[in-house]
Each structure stands twice: as structure tokens, then as C-alpha cells.
Amino acid sequence: MPPEGLDFAHRAQLSELMDAPCSRDVLRACLRDLARVNQWFLGYRPVLDWLNELPETTHERPLRILDVGCGYGDGLRRIERWAREHGVEAELTGIDLNPDTIAIARDATAMDSRICWIAANVFDYPMPRPAHLIVSSLFTHHLEDSDLVGFLQWMEKNSRIGWMVNDLSRGAVPYHLFRWFAKAARLHPFVQHDGPVSFRRAFVPGDWRLLCARAGLHENEFQLLPYKPARLCVRRSKRP
């Protein structure tokens, strides 16, 4: 058994403070700190690597990319920067369940940005057209297994080129290291609490294989990609 008697063999059924109602100011401070963590620990790298590996023939104009659970919007703004740097015409949409989160993401975005921000439950959102690519970052560990299976099926249905889940890897080492780091960096108290909880709610490869199978995906239809530090991504690239 790991230190403190914690069980990392299974996903923990724990709540995160940011999932409960809080003021917009508190939420903004938390989201800013999470964006800092993403930047410090290369959290955008998995999605950018995937975009860079896509054949140019898949760069339809415009390339429609949907970010589910977009949070502060920092990941989608980084994708927008990638599109500008590579001369890719992109139609970018961020969707999040919390209207306050969407308002914060919009406020943090430059006036010349063309990102569309939508407050909605993704399962109830009527897609005007299928996205070419669907991404989610640090979102899926918030879902119960049954909802996650439904989300995988939803992405499979609503993406033309593919989708990617960018999330954490469950384990005792990242759990304890983040606890130490968050305190040393004086991150927001909510982040100090929620970060370690997120690692306990996150996934290992066996979890993803089972969940993808339940969603109707064969093992040769997706890739499991570990990224340091402590990320585990699921990538689905559909053949033309």
C-alpha cells in the first residue's frame, strides 16, 4: 500500500473544490494558476505534437477544432497560436458547462481572437457541423466511468479526422510531488487541494483500454501515449 494508506490501484471517488459553486473571482484565480501549471509542465505539448503530425491533406479550410471542458481557454489560445504560426485557417470553439468559466476564458482572450466560446453541456450541444478535431485537456477525470464512455462515443460520432484526450496519469509519485510543488509555489488553496485529488481520480492504461472497449473501439483504433510529467493521453486518428 502506498504512503498514507492511499489506494492508487483504482480511481478514487472524491470531489474537487472547483466542481462546487464558488465566486467568479475565486474561480478566475484557480484557473489562472492551473494555466500556469500547464505552461510550466508542458501541458500543451501532447495536443501540439498531434497537430504537427497530421498530414497536410487533413488541413481542410477552415480546420474546425472543438475543445471540450475548455476551462480558462489557455489550451485553445495556444492552438490558435499554432494555427497562425503554421498558416492554418482554423475555426476554434471552446465549450464548458460553467457559464462563469466561459466568461473568464473570454475575458482572458485577446480582442483580435476569433475563438468562439460556448457555455453548454456538451451532451446537449447541437453540433452545427461535425468538428474535424475534438480535444479535451484535464477534463475526463471529472467524469464517472459511464459518462466517460458516452463522451468517447460522442467524440467518435462528432469528429471527422479524430480526437484526443489529454489527461493525467494516476500514481503515488505524481500525487505526492504535486502536493509538495503546489504548496511550495503557493498556488491557490483550491488548486493545492484539487491537484492531488485529480491524480487520484485519473487513469492508468488498463482503465483506458476497458473504457474504449466499452465505447466500441478496438485497441488498434486508438493510441495510449504517456507524456512526462505524469500525463496519459488517448489519441484517435481516423483514416481518410
pLDDT along the chain (240 residues), means of 10: 68 89 95 96 96 74 94 97 94 97 98 97 89 97 96 96 97 96 96 96 97 97 96 90
Superfamily classification of domain 15-237? Vaccinia Virus protein VP39 (3.40.50.150)
- Predicted local confidence at residue 23, as pLDDT: 95
Compute the CA torsion angle 211, 213, 219, 222 (nearest 10 deg).
-50
Amino acid in the structure at residue 42 = L
- Predicted local confidence at residue 1, as pLDDT: 38
CB 205 within 8 A of CB 234: no
Amino acid in the structure at residue 213 = A
- Predicted local confidence at residue 86, as pLDDT: 93
Q: How far is CA 63 from CA 56, 101, 112, 117, in A?
A: 11, 25, 18, 17
- Predicted local confidence at residue 4, as pLDDT: 52
Q: Is the peptide bond before 126 cis (omega within 30 degrees of 0)?
A: no
- Predicted local confidence at residue 6, as pLDDT: 85
- Predicted local confidence at residue 61, as pLDDT: 79
Output the nine-digit C-alpha cell for 164.
Answer: 484526443
Please state the length of the chain: 240
Please count the other Cβ atoms lying within 10 Å of the Cβ belonging to residue 10: 10
Q: Domain boundaries in the chain?
A: 15-237
- Predicted local confidence at residue 128, as pLDDT: 85
- Predicted local confidence at residue 2, as pLDDT: 44
Q: What is the DSSP string of 134-174?
A: EEEES-GGGS-HHHHHHHHHHHHHHEEEEEEEEEEB--HHH
Output the nine-digit C-alpha cell for 95.
Answer: 465549450
